[in-house]
Chain A
Amino acid sequence: MAILIDQNTKLLVQGLTGKEGQFHGFRNRDYGTNLVAGVTPGKGGTDLEGVPIFNTVAEAVEATGANTAMTFVPPPFAADAIMEAAAAGIALVVAITEGIPAQDEARVFNYISQTSATRLLGPNCPGLLSPGKANVGIMPPEIAMEGRVGVVSRSGTLTYQAVHELTTLGIGQSSCIGIGGDPVPGTSFVDVLALFQADEETDAIVMIGEIGGTAEEEAADFIKANVTKPVVSYIAGVTAPPGKKMGHAGAIISGGKGTAAAKMEALSAVGVTVLDDPTGIGTAIQTVVG
């Protein structure tokens, strides 16, 4: 069993008729994901390569039973699109959109957690991949293979790097989850760690963090109290200068807080294998799984 997405996923893409939405939506379908609908206001009633397009998420859900939404809507309209998906009863919203204002993210996160049972992954995330089952997002699925290691990360390309290191050594993955690099991620490390801990098909966990915020420290506390599976971790940004946003809106050391060193120390202290080189992830997993 994979976490969050699998053969039962019925995917709806908000912005399927746009360039990126189309490319990735159909790439996800090619992988075997059940792509059931697209939503583009004004284009309802048409179809794209056999996928029906609806004006609203509610209509699409009613007609197709979609349970997962992937959002490629541009930043000015993305917050609204996420709330629309939640209001329509979508269980998982995967927001790929990069560049949503932080105030919108804070409002949306609190709004949907108060008014729905929807889980938000992202924004500004690469999505998630359950090898052999489903792909929702922009991860290149050919680097992954089916297996029993769960991967969770704040960074897109570093997720690919980690998955590649594992696959190269013949170690497969149960699910690969990109939680995104923004200051208010809908799903946190702690949320994903809980899911991996409960997942019978996950034996070990790779967690890739980066500078900024305290999500890794909170993960360390959670691991200490709740996670019995081995965890291997890598934190990017050891040499990042304070006060500079390193590409991601959330990757910034401010007021002496959010340093890689503090995060590595917190994780080491609770028994996590912490690496200083991301290319060592595969061998580290081999060691801890035995």
Chain B
Amino acid sequence: MDLFEYQGKSLFARVGVPVPDGRLATSPTFARTAANELGGPVVVKAQVQVGGRGKAGGIKIAETPNDAEEAAAQILGMDIKGHTVHSVWVEEASNIAAEYYVSFTLDRSAKKHLAIVSAQGGVDIEGVAETDPDALVKLHIDPVVGLTEWQARELVYRAKLEPTAARKAAAALKKLYEAFVSLDCDLVEVNPLILTGGGEIVALDAKVTLDANAFYRHPDFGEFEAAFTRDPIEAMAMESDLNFIKLDGSVGIVGNGAGLVMSTLDVVDLVGGKAANFLDVGGGAGADTITNALEVLTQDPSVKSVLITIFGGITRCDLVAEGIIEAFGRLELPWPIVVRLDGTNAEEGRAILAGSIDEKLIPAATMREAAEKAVALAGGTG
């Protein structure tokens, strides 16, 4: 789960990494009040779960509360890469002497933690990686041992951060790593981590991705989630424990198993259509789950046909078939449904479907045939 900057900064503050004082504002008036309270020049920053907001005009410096109100008025409601800005973070402007880059993440091939530190922060780090790869200092950390003192020092000196701030920078690295591990983050990225004119190390930005699998040990993370505006269809799917992602096509997809569903999206694309969603009912889905899944799809007006693809392992195809029949009885289903069943009790499942006289129910023998039929019924491409 990607956090807003202000949420990430609240976690940094928790582990003792200095961050500028700031306030969250959801209206220009609130931004003005925030600037007033903070006193002096402020920075008004769009809160979106996507990078590149600076380039998009989502960050503005404001000398006065008036300016802050104006800046907020411009930024709020802005669309940044498909994300609408609902709030701004108003924080005291910093006196920047140097900008660094720091990140902690998991290196999946090495199966170790990876620290990246650079003295060239404040810019697009992928650009630095391309033009000056030596400017990025990388170090693997054994997750059993954690980031040691000497490793933190080595990162600071090898990356050539300001030597007079070395001790403070190394301490900040240790604390950020502690946040990465103890708060169960997939990613902690600070760009920039700054050295102030006064010689302090401060996190000026925060890009934090939390591991949803670990939420059970961080009950307070629920409040972060509550701050996100969730797509209403996604919210409904979540309530039914369905793994749903909205896409931009017209063929609704229901399947069991992430790999199989992903693969179904690909086959739909291959035969010239586009999937409206990713929907994985998970393992062991019963009739109810299938009915719920179809009900979720009824909320999406862009769906023109539905493709159900099941490979029964733990999941029993006869129960899936019952769920489909039940959905036809209980819901107003506006589209034709192409069904492909294989695996555990597939024959029983097909027999149940064959017993239904609903003309909107179309059987298919293979995944490809199912995709072709569903795409044709959705009106071809698009």
Contacts and interface: CB of A to CB of B under 8 A. Distances in A.
B322 interface: no
Contact of A126 (B108, B267, B313): B313
A211 B261 CA distance: 13
Interface stretch (B68-76, B168-176, B252-260): B252-260
Interface centre among B216, B259, B260, B267 (most CB of A within 10 A): B259
B342 interface: yes
Nearest to A99: B213
B111 A156 contact: no
Interface residues of B, number: 50
B144 A111 contact: yes
A10 B186 CA distance: 37
Contact of A161 (B216, B247, B342): B342
Given A107-B143, A110-B143, A164-B311, A240 B262 contact: yes
Given A103-B143, A184-B106, A247 B213 contact: no
A139 B243 CA distance: 21
A184 B108 contact: yes
Interface residues of A, number: 59
B351 interface: no
Interface stretch (B31-39, B58-66, B90-98, B275-283): B275-283
Contacts of A158: 257, 259-260, 263
B266 interface: yes
Nearest to A107: B143
A198 interface: no
Given A107-B143, A241-B247, A279-B367, A247 B262 contact: yes
B108 A75 contact: no
Interface in A203-251: 208, 210-211, 213-215, 218, 234, 236-241, 244, 246-251
A240 B274 CA distance: 11
Contacts of B278: 240, 244, 246-247
A27 to B, nearest CB: 10
Interface centre among B144, B181, B243, B283 (most CB of A within 10 A): B144
B267 A277 contact: yes
20 contacts: A76-B216, A101-B211, A102-B211, A102-B214, A111-B144, A140-B344, A153-B259, A154-B259, A158-B259, A181-B259, A214-B108, A237-B262, A244-B278, A248-B259, A249-B213, A250-B108, A251-B258, A260-B266, A277-B267, A279-B267
Interface of A: 75-76, 99-104, 106-107, 109-111, 114, 126, 138-140, 142-143, 153-158, 160-161, 164, 181, 183-184, 208, 210-211, 213-215, 218, 234, 236-241, 244, 246-251, 255, 260, 276-279
